[in-house]
Protein backbone atom coordinates (compact mmCIF):
# COMPACT_ATOMS: atom_id res chain seq x y z
CA UNK A 1 0.00 0.00 0.00
CA UNK A 2 2.80 2.41 0.90
CA UNK A 3 4.63 1.78 -2.37
CA UNK A 4 1.43 2.51 -4.29
CA UNK A 5 1.05 5.80 -2.42
CA UNK A 6 4.68 6.68 -3.17
CA UNK A 7 4.09 6.06 -6.88
CA UNK A 8 1.02 8.30 -6.80
CA UNK A 9 3.02 11.00 -5.00
CA UNK A 10 5.61 10.95 -7.79
CA UNK A 11 2.89 11.49 -10.38
CA UNK A 12 1.71 14.65 -8.62
CA UNK A 13 5.09 16.06 -7.57
CA UNK A 14 5.18 18.50 -10.48
CA UNK A 15 2.01 20.33 -9.40
CA UNK A 16 2.52 23.99 -8.60
CA UNK A 17 0.85 25.57 -5.61
CA UNK A 18 0.08 29.24 -5.11
CA UNK A 19 1.30 29.15 -1.54
CA UNK A 20 3.18 26.85 0.78
CA UNK A 21 0.12 26.80 3.07
CA UNK A 22 -1.99 25.32 0.27
CA UNK A 23 0.58 22.59 -0.31
CA UNK A 24 0.84 21.81 3.42
CA UNK A 25 -2.95 21.70 3.77
CA UNK A 26 -3.22 19.38 0.74
CA UNK A 27 -0.50 17.04 2.07
CA UNK A 28 -2.17 16.84 5.50
CA UNK A 29 -5.58 16.09 3.96
CA UNK A 30 -4.01 13.45 1.73
CA UNK A 31 -2.27 11.83 4.70
CA UNK A 32 -5.51 11.87 6.75
CA UNK A 33 -7.31 10.15 3.85
CA UNK A 34 -4.61 7.48 3.82
CA UNK A 35 -4.99 6.96 7.57
CA UNK A 36 -8.75 6.49 7.15
CA UNK A 37 -8.26 4.04 4.25
CA UNK A 38 -5.70 2.04 6.21
CA UNK A 39 -7.83 1.89 9.36
CA UNK A 40 -10.91 0.90 7.36
CA UNK A 41 -9.02 -2.09 5.97
CA UNK A 42 -7.65 -3.71 9.11
CA UNK A 43 -9.23 -6.53 11.11
CA UNK A 44 -11.95 -5.91 13.66
CA UNK A 45 -9.61 -7.31 16.32
CA UNK A 46 -8.05 -3.86 16.44
CA UNK A 47 -11.24 -1.78 16.75
CA UNK A 48 -10.15 -0.49 20.15
CA UNK A 49 -6.84 0.89 18.89
CA UNK A 50 -8.60 2.27 15.79
CA UNK A 51 -10.94 4.19 18.08
CA UNK A 52 -8.01 5.59 20.07
CA UNK A 53 -6.28 6.71 16.88
CA UNK A 54 -9.40 8.32 15.43
CA UNK A 55 -9.99 10.14 18.71
CA UNK A 56 -6.64 11.93 18.57
CA UNK A 57 -6.60 15.57 17.52
CA UNK A 58 -4.84 16.18 15.24
CA UNK A 59 -4.91 12.81 13.53
CA UNK A 60 -1.46 11.14 13.75
CA UNK A 61 0.72 10.62 10.68
CA UNK A 62 0.39 7.41 8.69
CA UNK A 63 3.77 6.24 10.04
CA UNK A 64 2.60 6.73 13.63
CA UNK A 65 -0.61 4.84 12.84
CA UNK A 66 1.31 1.93 11.25
CA UNK A 67 3.56 1.81 14.29
CA UNK A 68 0.70 1.86 16.80
CA UNK A 69 -1.22 -0.85 14.91
CA UNK A 70 1.88 -3.06 14.65
CA UNK A 71 2.61 -2.67 18.36
CA UNK A 72 -0.96 -3.57 19.29
CA UNK A 73 -0.96 -6.51 16.86
CA UNK A 74 2.31 -7.81 18.36
CA UNK A 75 1.00 -7.32 21.89
CA UNK A 76 -2.15 -9.31 21.09
CA UNK A 77 -0.15 -12.11 19.46
CA UNK A 78 2.04 -12.44 22.54
CA UNK A 79 -0.88 -12.11 24.94
CA UNK A 80 -3.05 -14.67 23.16
CA UNK A 81 -0.13 -16.83 22.01
CA UNK A 82 -1.07 -16.74 18.33
CA UNK A 83 -0.83 -17.99 15.63
CA UNK A 84 -2.01 -21.50 16.28
CA UNK A 85 0.18 -24.22 14.71
CA UNK A 86 -2.50 -25.30 12.23
CA UNK A 87 -3.24 -21.79 10.93
CA UNK A 88 -1.77 -20.23 7.84
CA UNK A 89 0.51 -17.29 8.74
CA UNK A 90 -1.52 -14.81 6.69
CA UNK A 91 -4.76 -15.76 8.41
CA UNK A 92 -3.50 -14.98 11.89
CA UNK A 93 -2.37 -11.42 11.28
CA UNK A 94 -4.66 -8.66 12.45
CA UNK A 95 -3.33 -6.55 9.59
CA UNK A 96 -4.97 -8.73 6.94
CA UNK A 97 -7.24 -6.50 4.91
CA UNK A 98 -10.93 -7.16 5.05
CA UNK A 99 -12.67 -7.76 1.77
CA UNK A 100 -16.06 -6.82 3.12
CA UNK A 101 -17.08 -4.38 0.38
CA UNK A 102 -20.73 -4.55 1.36
CA UNK A 103 -20.05 -2.72 4.63
CA UNK A 104 -21.19 0.86 4.71
CA UNK A 105 -18.30 3.32 4.93
CA UNK A 106 -18.49 5.89 7.74
CA UNK A 107 -20.09 9.15 6.55
CA UNK A 108 -20.00 12.50 8.31
CA UNK A 109 -23.31 14.32 8.02
CA UNK A 110 -21.58 17.51 9.24
CA UNK A 111 -18.87 17.99 6.58
CA UNK A 112 -20.36 15.50 4.05
CA UNK A 113 -17.17 13.42 3.73
CA UNK A 114 -16.39 9.71 4.00
CA UNK A 115 -14.32 7.78 6.53
CA UNK A 116 -15.49 9.47 9.74
CA UNK A 117 -18.63 10.48 11.59
CA UNK A 118 -19.89 13.74 13.10
CA UNK A 119 -18.48 12.92 16.55
CA UNK A 120 -14.93 12.54 15.16
CA UNK A 121 -15.16 15.42 12.67
Spell out the alpha helix ranges (H) of 12-101: 20-41, 47-54, 62-80, 89-92
> Which pLDDT belongs to residue 65?
93
Sketch the domain layout of the chain as residue ranges: 44-121
The answer to whether the CB of 74 falls within 8 A of the CB of 84 is no
pLDDT per position as a tens digit, 87-98: 555 555 555 555
% of the chain exceeding 70 in pLDDT: 69
Which pLDDT tens digit goes with each residue over 9-67? 666 665 677 888 888 888 888 889 889 989 999 889 899 999 999 999 999 999 999 99
Amino acid sequence: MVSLWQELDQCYDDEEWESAKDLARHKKKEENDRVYMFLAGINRDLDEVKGRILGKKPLPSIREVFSEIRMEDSRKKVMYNTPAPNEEPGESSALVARSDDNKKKPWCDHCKKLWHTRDTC
